[in-house]
Structure 1
Amino acid sequence: MSAGGGRSAGAEAAVRAAAAGLVAAFAAHDTGRYFAAFAEDATFVFPTQPGILADRAAYETAWRAWEADGFRVLDCRTDDTEVRVVAEGLAVLTHRVRTRLAVKDDADGEELRERETVVFRRSPDGRWLVVHEHLSPEP
């Protein structure tokens, strides 16, 4: 779904491509590529965190702590993706996320079923970067 005509249709396609790259990097546990998809000032709300992670650096710090505890992404799939271009250079993506994670010695991992809202902003160089991510358990 998108608001407007041709220009927003192009923005919608670009946001979908940026989101696909983000999910692929996450699914591969490719932290360099994954974190490059976020603006430095991005904020994060996760059900496992007591508060808001105020920027990308805070998320990277949390991620490294999770990895030290044996966290590893094994797979990630999404569906029911909707994109709404809400203003020039600003879009909101929602989707359902299925993630298989290994934690500690659980090589087979566990599956998380979540809903996610991701806000993208087009950067001056034209890339669509995540500026806010909010995950919640799927009801």
Structure 2
Amino acid sequence: MTEEVLRAADELVAAFAEGRLDDYFAAFDPDATFVFHTTPERIASTADYRALWERWVAEDGFRIVDCVSSGQVVQCFGDTAVFSHDVATTVSTRAGTESLSERETIVFHRAGQGRWLAVHEHLSPAAAA
């Protein structure tokens, strides 16, 4: 089970890093929620997150340059799993390029046909060294 969750997380992170947005957003349940330190409110659905992403692109020229996951941990609880990791992301906007060091938790749930879908994502800045 741990390997299945790691595979789902790896696919999600790879789609994010490579800008494959259809694959990235398909990794989430439609009712998934999102808490990001970069947004003032909780995002209530995958559709709302995708609309926000499209606004970032339109307004700021936002795009992912690179994303590297490390320190991965999976905790399984039946049909639910908690995946946490450290994530180093480089983003580009019209203002320039920025490297971010963050910690992320993604809660997965085993959906139909045994597929693991993300149902919640929480992103916070990494603690200062």
User: Shorter-chain TM-score: what band?
Assistant: over 0.9
Q: Going by fraction, where is strand more abundant, 1 or 2?
A: 2
Unpaired runs of at least 5, structure 2: none
Paired positions, count: 126
Q: Percent identity over the alignment?
A: 48
Measure, in 2, the Cα distance between the counterparts of 1:119 and 1:42.
Answer: 9
**Greater than 6 Å deviation, 4+ residue runs:** none
Counterpart of 1:30 in structure 2 is: 20
Counterpart of 1:75 in structure 2 is: 66
Q: Which residue, out of 53, 65, 70, partners 2:43? A: 53
Secondary structure of residue in 1 paired with 2:122: strand
| Mapping for residues 82-93 of structure 1, pairs under 5 Å | 82-86=73-77, 88-93=78-83
Measure, in 2, the Cα distance between the counterparts of 1:46 and 1:105.
Answer: 20
TM-score by length of 1: 0.88
CA RMSD of aligned residues (A): 0.8
Measure, in 2, the Cα distance between the counterparts of 1:105 and 1:84.
Answer: 38
Superposed CA deviations along residues 67-100 of structure 1, whole A, max 9, x for unmatched, are: 11210001100111000002x2100011000000
Shift of 1:124: 1.3
Measure, in 2, the Cα distance between the counterparts of 1:135 and 1:75.
Answer: 17
Measure, in 1, the Cα distance between the counterparts of 2:95 and 2:106.
Answer: 31
TM-score by length of 2: 0.95
Counterpart of 1:110 in structure 2 is: 98
Unpaired runs of at least 5, structure 1: 1-10
Counterpart of 1:8 in structure 2 is: none
